[in-house]
Structure 1
Amino acid sequence: MAPRLRDMLLAGVMLAVSGGGALADIPNRLLKVGVLTDMSGPFASQAGQGSFVAAQMAAEDFAKEAGDLKVEIVAADHQNKPDVGSAIVRRWIDQENVNTVVDLPNSGVALAISALLDDRNIPTMASGTATSDMTGKFCKKTTVQWAHDTWALGNGMGKAVTKAGGKKWFFIAYDYALGQALERDTSEAVKKAGGTVVGSVKHPLGTTDFSSYILQAQSSGADVIALGGTGVDAINAIKQMGEFGVIQKGMQLAALFIQISDVQAIGLDQAKGLIVTESFYWDLNDRTREWSRRFSARMNGKMPTVNHASTYSATLAYLRAAKAADSVQGDKIVAQMQKMTFDDPTYGKVTVRPDGRAVHEMFVFKVKDPSQSKSKDDVYDLLETIPAEEAFRPIKDGGCPLIK
């Protein structure tokens, strides 16, 4: 994709339903949602165009209850660069009257946007952001984090694998906010479960050769290699671990942040047996299956990832809360969200805590053996459902300055 195109708005979708009274505190009775995502980089399959489509679906579903409130969805590519993302968002706010930003895969970009929007009293719906610092030390009164976070991912994985016998861990993780948070939060869970961390190594985003990192892990004496990356980097790392015979030599691989698109790219032959923690899977129940088929019909047969489902869920919740608050002001909308219980076909029941953490169930899955899979999208067996009240870091432990 040419640089000029990566920065441009992809499209706009306008939806309206006649009838109902004017929303006096929402200018022109219009809510404009900006999907800031990765259209061309390592997270494009997890998020990208699918997140834009998911936000469109949320706007369409909201139209049934919108009265005469209109919704417009726009999107742009942040290129995984905080400065590029910030420039896009400033333009959106100053010139195009965007009222909220959703998705935000890439924790470094998301933290920058959250701070920028908080200064303008505009809500950030961090539906694709993983660092737990988003609702910890960097929490904001106008920011809500929707799907997973590194504490939830690490807690589920660290407990499950350590209790199953994986006592000594070695981390291969991103050398930026996401990888640092994944390693920190998973290490805490491992130690609480009786395990130890014997070493770690960091790598930059976009690494293609993991051989030196894998050799360090193999020589560390670890039982478990914990992979603190995702997207294309995780796919490359796991494929190369297969070439090195990591699993055949008795080591266990804990993929801390893997989504269905990554598993499909790796292939079940190499991914089989992986333990993963996710907040959504298309085949969980009748509601997720029905919504996912609607999504798939618009995405050339592709089933949704966690990012896609969470962008839908967060966008729909934002629209409902903005309508209920009769406002576009971020503090009012987030305060309204904290009073509501949301329910939609992707995440079911969701509540929002005072630190901005959206609370819902999480799930631990095992990747199927190819002989067990009935289709290309049939990749997981459910091992455990983590209740909403246990799935996320206790609010008192996060260090959020909003919590007294």
Structure 2
Amino acid sequence: MNSVLVRCLALGLAVATPLAGLSAQEKKSLNIAVLNDKSSVFSDAGGVRSVRAAELAAEDFGGEINGMKIKVLGPDHQNKTDMGASLARQMYDQEGVEAIFDIGNSAISLAVQDIARERGKIVVHSGSATAEVFGKACSPTGAMWLYDTYSLAKGLAKSVVEQGGKTWYFITADYAFGHAMQNEVTKVVEANGGKVLGAVRHPVGTMDFSSFLMQAQASGADIVAFANASGDTVTSLKQAREFQVGEGNQKLGVLIFYLTSVHALGAKATQGVQYLSGYYWDHDDESRAFAKRFAAVNDGRMPDHTHAAVYSSVKHYLQAVKDSKSTDGKTVMRKMKETPVNDFFAHGAKIRADGRLMNDMLLVEVKKPEEVKNGEWDLLKVKQVVKADDIMRPIAEGGCTRLDPPVDAGKK
């Protein structure tokens, strides 16, 4: 890896002398950070491989911009909100970091958003799903790059109903996230002519889903939807296959899922699962080209959509620093909003005034084992490209009052 790039894990941040207050011309380095989970439940979807994605973006600029060497830091928040907030303050205030990327935990994203707003620093969320970062908690220096709860619900439900999944049954985690996702999806299903046949709620950390799955199977619903996340999703999917739920005419819908989870569980356990993805490595030539670069520095592992989003957001940020000849957060974010994102991740997409990147998504389905023919990562097929305008929450509905530049809030 290029010697100008630094990967610092956990709390051991080794960087140059603090650079706060210096002009872009005076700075010797441009410090950015990929703050996420590198040691806990979400480390596979982001983790160290998101840092490597950011390093690839830095390499595209030859490791420096406007005379400043690019340094990529990789602190580990361990899925702890207090630690994430403390690390953000340390990086912005003491380590000369100008921009933080990824995060991958909604509570930490909201905390870092507040800190970044106060300091006029950049934060770009990729692995976090809360739509509040471009809603009531929006910031003139914040951006949302991949998915959010609103678009996931609307995009998946609308697309699946259009594909013939008219009737739904929910297996829902019994806490705020699960309730919100079920409610959002229900609205979309019914608005598009579908019907919810029933739902059952389970405690977080449930180990036995058998009774819930039997109820879902008996409902005869076209789609059994899992409104849960992380380990609960993995456990429920494993047991769904044991009870042959989601086979035949019945399919499984997962509201948040990852290629890395599909790979870990295998095509046999996850075949037929449909979900929204911001990127798939085998979708087109540009996507395959990035995947080849990524795999070369990640032990042959293909990138997930979180890794692709980190690369895309870091590259767009670096280009804005170069073009604006500034590291000031508001100045750089304005340039990021002025300039369309045009790469394998987002073709000509723009960042709205509230910070939401208007990126299209892919409705993907896990292949049957006999359809996997191009290696161990040949796991998905793209069913449909879902347009951003069809799934993103309008600005007027989000409650963002910090629009920069100011626009008509009634616009999308």
For this structure pair, what is the TM-score category when the shorter chain's length is used for normalisation? 0.7 to 0.9
Partner of 1:267: 266
The alpha carbon displacement at 1:402 in A equals 3.2
The alpha carbon displacement at 1:251 in A equals 4.2
Partner of 1:68: 67
Query: Could you tell me whether the CA contact under 8 Å between 2:128 and 2:148 is conserved in 1?
Result: yes
**Which aligned pairs between 1:31-110 and structure 2 lie closer than 5 A?**
31-63=30-62, 66-110=65-109
**In 2, distance between residues paired with 1:225 and 1:156?**
16
The alpha carbon displacement at 1:254 in A equals 0.6
3-state secondary structure, aligned to 1:352? coil
Partner of 1:386: 386
Higher mean C-alpha deviation, range 185-194 or range 259-268: 185-194
Partner of 2:399: 399
The alpha carbon displacement at 1:241 in A equals 1.5
Query: Could you tell me whether the CA contact under 8 Å between 1:131 and 1:181 is conserved in 2?
Result: no
3-state secondary structure, aligned to 1:62? coil
3-state secondary structure, aligned to 1:396? helix
Note closer, same or farther for the CA distance 1:47–1:10 as it changes in structure 2 (3 Å cut): farther
Q: Give the percent of matched residue pairs that are identical in Structure 1 and Structure 2.
A: 34
Partner of 2:150: 151
Structure 1's unaligned 5+ residue stretches are 14-22
- Deviation per CA, 1:67-111: give whole Å up to 9, x if none: 412211111221212111111112212221211110111112111
Structure 2's unaligned 5+ residue stretches are 1-7, 17-21, 404-408
The alpha carbon displacement at 1:257 in A equals 1.3
Partner of 2:309: 310
**In 2, distance between residues paired with 1:180 and 1:114?**
24
The alpha carbon displacement at 1:166 in A equals 3.4
Higher mean C-alpha deviation, range 302-311 or range 214-223: 214-223
**In 2, distance between residues paired with 1:348 and 1:163?**
24
Partner of 2:327: 328
Partner of 1:18: none
Query: Could you tell me whether the CA contact under 8 Å between 2:66 and 2:322 is conserved in 1?
Result: no
Partner of 1:16: none
Match of 2:11 among 8, 12, 22: 8
Root-mean-square deviation (Å): 2.7
Higher mean C-alpha deviation, range 295-304 or range 58-67: 58-67
Higher mean C-alpha deviation, range 339-348 or range 138-147: 339-348
The alpha carbon displacement at 1:209 in A equals 4.3
**In 2, distance between residues paired with 1:314 and 1:81?**
24
Query: Could you tell me whether the CA contact under 8 Å between 2:359 and 2:388 is conserved in 1?
Result: yes
**In 1, distance between residues paired with 2:13 and 2:228?**
28
Partner of 2:353: 354
The alpha carbon displacement at 1:365 in A equals 1.5
**In 1, distance between residues paired with 2:259 and 2:314?**
21
Query: Could you tell me whether the CA contact under 8 Å between 1:295 and 1:304 is conserved in 2?
Result: yes
Higher mean C-alpha deviation, range 149-158 or range 350-359: 149-158
Note closer, same or farther for the CA distance 1:398–1:154 as it changes in structure 2 (3 Å cut): same
The alpha carbon displacement at 1:310 in A equals 0.4
Q: What TM-score, normalized by structure 2, do the two folds share?
A: 0.86
The alpha carbon displacement at 1:44 in A equals 1.2
Note closer, same or farther for the CA distance 1:212–1:111 as it changes in structure 2 (3 Å cut): farther
Query: Could you tell me whether the CA contact under 8 Å between 2:155 and 2:390 is conserved in 1?
Result: no
The alpha carbon displacement at 1:165 in A equals 4.2
Partner of 1:19: none
The alpha carbon displacement at 1:401 in A equals 2.3
Letter in 2 for 1:393: R
**In 1, distance between residues paired with 2:260 and 2:147?**
16
Partner of 1:366: 365
- Deviation per CA, 1:47-72: give whole Å up to 9, x if none: 01110100111111123772412211
Partner of 1:118: 117
Q: What TM-score, normalized by structure 1, do the two folds share?
A: 0.87
Higher mean C-alpha deviation, range 309-318 or range 234-243: 234-243
- Deviation per CA, 1:148-177: give whole Å up to 9, x if none: 222222222101222344344343345666
Letter in 2 for 1:378: D
- Deviation per CA, 1:344-376: give whole Å up to 9, x if none: 344343311001001122111121111111111
Partner of 1:20: none
**In 1, distance between residues paired with 2:30 and 2:365?**
40
- Deviation per CA, 1:175-231: give whole Å up to 9, x if none: 666545533432332121123443352543x55444465456457675432223344
**In 2, distance between residues paired with 1:389 and 1:306?**
20
**In 2, distance between residues paired with 1:59 and 1:179?**
37
Higher mean C-alpha deviation, range 389-398 or range 147-156: 389-398
Note closer, same or farther for the CA distance 1:29–1:398 as it changes in structure 2 (3 Å cut): same
**In 2, distance between residues paired with 1:256 and 1:56?**
30
